[in-house]
Structure 1
Amino acid sequence: MNPDDILPTLLDRVAAAGGGAAYFSAQELAVWPASTLARMKEMELLVPSTPAASVVCPGCEEECAMPVEMATTAAGTLRFFVVCDRREDTAHVPVPRVQLEQWQCSPRLLADGVAKLVGLRRSLSDDDPRRLDLGVLKGTQASAHVVLHVESALSLHLAGHVLPLSDVLVWTDKGMTVERRALVRCVDNAVAGAGAKESAEKRRERLGARRKELIASGVHNFNEVLAQEEGLTTTRIKQILKTKPQKQLADAKDSVSLLGQLQRASSGEVNRQP
């Protein structure tokens, strides 16, 4: 396979998996350029996966897809084989263990890799495997969240812009790189009224969770660090985290209203007493 085709192949396979992992067998990877494959593994774009549960049976020229059976020998080693009942001249067909080896790539691995290259802080958890927040990118004039969307193709959403992931990733002899300047231009030239929006409550929850992470890791100036990450002032960070969510405000108003009704009712009963 041509080295220039490997990264597009990887991205297409991950997109086709629809938010899940894309799997690559050892046989498939054997035709990839060794240096490119090694670099992808070093960058953790490809990581080891569980052994394949089925293989193309090596017993004959039919190349049937068959489930893999496993047994333990008297010596205590594992033996892998395919049980073939389709021919009279085959029964148990041994399967080399290396043939079961497979590697995987997922949206999360790509998100981690891109965020690291751009210098963004990724969230520790993703609520939606099809929408992964890479972090806040600071431009020269503004800041914006960069979000990886998994649809028919992979794309980055930021400041109202939508960029195909394949357009901002470049593979060189040193590995995968990101066209960071293209992302910064999008941040500094935001599209009004568009882009991924984050509600006030979701933002408060995210910042609160991040502050807990910083405190747990022993960071004392957590508000300052959080402000720097978000491109805000420390005062603004405190204001956001101090503001009560709308539901709490509504519940508080309901409680005050109910208390007032009870007080008025109690006062009326007292006034009606002889």
Structure 2
Amino acid sequence: MSPHDVLCVLLERLGANDGTAVLISEHELTHWPTAAVAVLKSQGMLVKASPASSVVCPGCEDECVMPVHVLNYPTGRAAFVVCGRRNDVCRVPVASNQLEQWQTSANLIADLLARLLGLRRPSASDTADSARWEVGLFKGRQHSGHLVLLPDGGSLKLTLAGHSVALGDLLFLESQRFEVDRRALTRLVDQPIAGGGDQESAAQRRERLQKRVDAERARGNGAFNKTVAEEEGIGVSRLKQILAAKPEPPKAGSKW
């Protein structure tokens, strides 16, 4: 099993789970390449999860999923399952690595992509949609666009400037590090598809930028407008225009 195979396994499981958290036991990780697992943990793509509350019972070939019982002793603790289905099996010890587990998620991958690309991710309050993970504003040589991670029918994809590409075609796990194809992203953002991509209304953009300005001001950043304008790839005067714009009045006959 190569590091690339490990990444493919994780992306496939996440895709099948629509990007929500996927659990992986420490026992399974012992069968993966040690160097690859170390990179996954050090880069935050695998984070420690709560111990498993149920396991596949190792007592016989039936492999039943059973709840785990844990007893604490002065010298340590013992975990076991209780089998009432067979006369020759009762209390079955469970190894500690069967209880230890890790988790990954699309949100963790979005964090990883943002670090690799040097982007600032929006705060959780800016992205209420649980099936959409914005990575950040990606700047090419000529244009900028919002890089967004989405589930895609059993896989994960990135959308940028109207383009859509499988995450596995851009993110790679080498023996000692992750790599992302920045050149491919630059080509995509510099060749935007008119009318395509992740659309944001004027009101949504104004609200998002106002939150960023408020956050920078709260941090004590005296150049809050300049900071946010540079992130957005616009001038300070243009930022002020956007924030000062008033919502359009409701159209005649509208309920809102």
TM-score tier, shorter chain, comes to over 0.9
Report if aligned partners of 1:108, 1:129 keep a CA contact under 8 Å in 2.
Answer: no
Once residues 174 and 78 of structure 1 are traced to their aligned partners in structure 2, the CA distance between those partners, rounded to angstroms, is 35
In structure 2, what is the equivalent of residue 121 of structure 1? 120
SS at match of 2:246: coil
TM superposition shift of 1:95:
1.4
In structure 2, what is the equivalent of residue 92 of structure 1? 91
TM superposition shift of 1:213:
1.5
Amino acid at match of 2:14: V
1:252-271 equivalence runs, <5 A? none
SS at match of 1:80: strand
Once residues 90 and 83 of structure 1 are traced to their aligned partners in structure 2, the CA distance between those partners, rounded to angstroms, is 8
Could you list the runs of 5+ residues in structure 1 that have no partner in the other structure? 254-274
Aligned identity (percent) is 46
TM superposition shift of 1:56:
1.2
Superposed CA RMSD in Å reads 1.8
In structure 1, what is the equivalent of residue 239 of structure 2? 237
SS at match of 2:123: coil
Report if aligned partners of 2:3, 2:175 keep a CA contact under 8 Å in 1.
Answer: no
Q: What's the TM-score, normalizing by structure 1?
A: 0.86
TM superposition shift of 1:70:
2.7
In structure 1, what is the equivalent of residue 35 of structure 2? 35
SS at match of 2:164: strand
In structure 1, what is the equivalent of residue 152 of structure 2? 151
Report if aligned partners of 1:82, 1:93 keep a CA contact under 8 Å in 2.
Answer: yes
Counting matched residue pairs gives 249
SS at match of 2:157: strand
Moved more, 53-62 or 195-204: 53-62
Report if aligned partners of 1:44, 1:109 keep a CA contact under 8 Å in 2.
Answer: yes
SS at match of 1:215: helix
Once residues 77 and 250 of structure 1 are traced to their aligned partners in structure 2, the CA distance between those partners, rounded to angstroms, is 67
Once residues 97 and 35 of structure 1 are traced to their aligned partners in structure 2, the CA distance between those partners, rounded to angstroms, is 22
Deviations 1:227-269 (A, max 9, x none): 10000010110111111223xx449x9xxxxxxxxxxxxxxxx
Report if aligned partners of 1:107, 1:129 keep a CA contact under 8 Å in 2.
Answer: no
In structure 2, what is the equivalent of residue 260 of structure 1? none
Once residues 196 and 223 of structure 1 are traced to their aligned partners in structure 2, the CA distance between those partners, rounded to angstroms, is 24
Instruction: Return closer, same or farther for 1:136/1:58 CA change in 2, 3 Å cut-off.
Output: same
Moved more, 145-154 or 76-85: 76-85
Task: Could you list the structure 1 runs, at least 4 aligned residues long, displaced by more than 6 angstroms after superposition.
Answer: none
Is 1:11 matched up with 2:11? yes
Amino acid at match of 2:143: A
Amino acid at match of 1:135: G
1:1-274 equivalence runs, <5 A? 1-73=1-73, 75=74, 77-125=76-124, 126-152=127-153, 153-246=155-248, 249-250=249-250
Once residues 75 and 20 of structure 2 are traced to their aligned partners in structure 1, the CA distance between those partners, rounded to angstroms, is 35
Once residues 108 and 38 of structure 1 are traced to their aligned partners in structure 2, the CA distance between those partners, rounded to angstroms, is 19
Could you list the runs of 5+ residues in structure 2 that have no partner in the other structure? none
Once residues 115 and 46 of structure 1 are traced to their aligned partners in structure 2, the CA distance between those partners, rounded to angstroms, is 16
Once residues 42 and 15 of structure 1 are traced to their aligned partners in structure 2, the CA distance between those partners, rounded to angstroms, is 22
Report if aligned partners of 2:117, 2:182 keep a CA contact under 8 Å in 1.
Answer: yes
Q: What's the TM-score, normalizing by structure 2?
A: 0.92
Report if aligned partners of 1:155, 1:163 keep a CA contact under 8 Å in 2.
Answer: yes
Largest Rg, 1 or 2? 1
SS at match of 1:194: coil
User: Which one has a larger percent helix, Structure 1 or Structure 2?
Assistant: 1
Higher relative contact order (Cα pairs below 8 Å, separated by 6+ residues)? 2
Report if aligned partners of 1:11, 1:166 keep a CA contact under 8 Å in 2.
Answer: yes
TM superposition shift of 1:76:
8.4
SS at match of 1:59: coil
Amino acid at match of 1:151: D
